[in-house]
Structure 1
Amino acid sequence: MDKKETEEFYAKLKEQLLETTSWPSTYLYKFIVPTEEAKISQIQDIFDNTGAVIESKKSKKGTYTSLSITVHLKNPDEVIQKYKEVSIVEGVISL
């Protein structure tokens, strides 16, 4: 996605979160990353000190790891901020 598409995506996400959720609320992130300790740690560090519950599960062949992260956030801006922080991790897919 280019910068404009990314901004539009986050604006739409914020709108949807405001319409469908009463804040503060618990939010569930799902990411898929290559099974490399450094990349998994990088994502875990982003959610460090937030009270997040992180569950991980390796794929059948062990090539990828899915991360489910449940965290209590104040508003949609915090949700989007975490997505932006995680997006710098190489190879990550946000679901």
Structure 2
Amino acid sequence: MESTNNSDEFYKKLKVQLQDTALWPTTYLYKFIVISETEKINQLKELFNHQGAVINTRESKNGKYTSVSINVRMKNPDAVIAKYKEVAVKIEGVISL
């Protein structure tokens, strides 16, 4: 339960920051780290499919993890946060930066 409260608080702060720093709609840069498994990387890419996203991946030096950068046009801060939550629910072990 504690982590849910921390998560809710994080998203509230993020929403305020997004509202204060950008004119919407705008291009938003998501950054994620996942274990270097083709299935996980493809799952992540699929969540942004059909949105005109530009997706770049880069494997860590030892090849254990892959960073995924996704530039995509989002309509408002709520849409950004909803996508973060969707990724967290659908991809086990993902780290959002």
TM-score bin, normalised by smaller chain: over 0.9
Q: Secondary structure at the match of 1:67?
A: strand
CA distance in 2, matches of 1:73, 1:91: 24
CA distance in 1, matches of 2:46, 2:86: 10
Map 1:1-95 to 2 at 5 A.
2-88=3-89, 89-95=91-97
Q: Secondary structure at the match of 1:87?
A: helix
CA RMSD between the two structures? 1.0
CA distance in 2, matches of 1:2, 1:59: 28
1:32-83 per-position Cα deviation (integer Å, ceiling 9, x unaligned): 1000111111111110111100000111111000000000011001100110
Could you list the runs of 4 or more consecutive aligned residues of structure 1 that deviate by over 6 angstroms after TM superposition? none
TM-score (norm 1): 0.95
CA shift at 1:27, angstroms? 0.2
Gapped regions of structure 1 (runs ≥ 5): none
1:7-42 per-position Cα deviation (integer Å, ceiling 9, x unaligned): 111111000000011101000001110001111111
Report the residue type matching 1:82 in the other structure.
K
Gapped regions of structure 2 (runs ≥ 5): none
* Structure with higher helix content: 2
CA distance in 1, matches of 2:83, 2:53: 12
CA distance in 2, matches of 1:79, 1:85: 10
TM-score (norm 2): 0.93
CA distance in 2, matches of 1:84, 1:41: 18
